[in-house]
Structure 1
Amino acid sequence: RPPGREGTPTPATTPAAEATAKRPPAREEEVERLRASIAARPAVDRARGLLMTAHGCDSDTAWQILRETAHLSGAPLPTVAAAIIADATRTGPHPPQKVRDALAVSLARHLP
């Protein structure tokens, strides 16, 4: 049967489409925030691995360093991760000074 005939949902009337269309603005913002978080995950994991390799720390310590650096610098976690990757791989611009300073403080706090 062609779309739109009785019993056959059209793309605009599928349950998923209806749920998306009825989603309140706050929920839509949350969905977008989660999508951005998922998209940033590979960079965060790579930065974590670079910290572990460069400083001989475990995964939890590397995570604490990343989070604290983001907090101290006021930069989002994906920005901190990208800065660490860029610095370690010598690609892209140098990390912003506020991120470098925050990273130095965090490393000093968490590593012997």
Structure 2
Amino acid sequence: MANRKEAAARLDGVFAALGDPTRRAVLERLARGAASVSELAQPFDMALPSFVKHLGVLEDCGLVRSRKEGRVRTCELSPRALTLAEGWLTAQRTLWERRSDAMAAFAEELHRKETRATRRP
């Protein structure tokens, strides 16, 4: 039970992090390779402390990891958390596709029955 709650909390954190356009842009940039905090912050019109909070959210949910070398903090993508979200989305897509297929089959059967009923004299 605790593992399920922990997994749900991790998934919630990933989706919350992905809900912000700044954080999504950071992830898109990191998909091209590691970058320093200053490189990542450069395109955004915000104070560095505000930007660092965004990085903190990404690190807390496991989407990004960082290391400090001297005075430079370098960030890189950690795709494992994305795999968690992808797994959940895949399960939901499968569920809804099955439901959609069942609804389509029901509608087709209903249409066949109505067509047969209207053909009878």
**Same fold at TM > 0.5:** no
Q: Normalising by structure 1, report the TM-score.
A: 0.25
Q: Normalising by structure 2, report the TM-score.
A: 0.23
Which is greater in Rg?
Answer: 2
Structure with higher strand content? 2
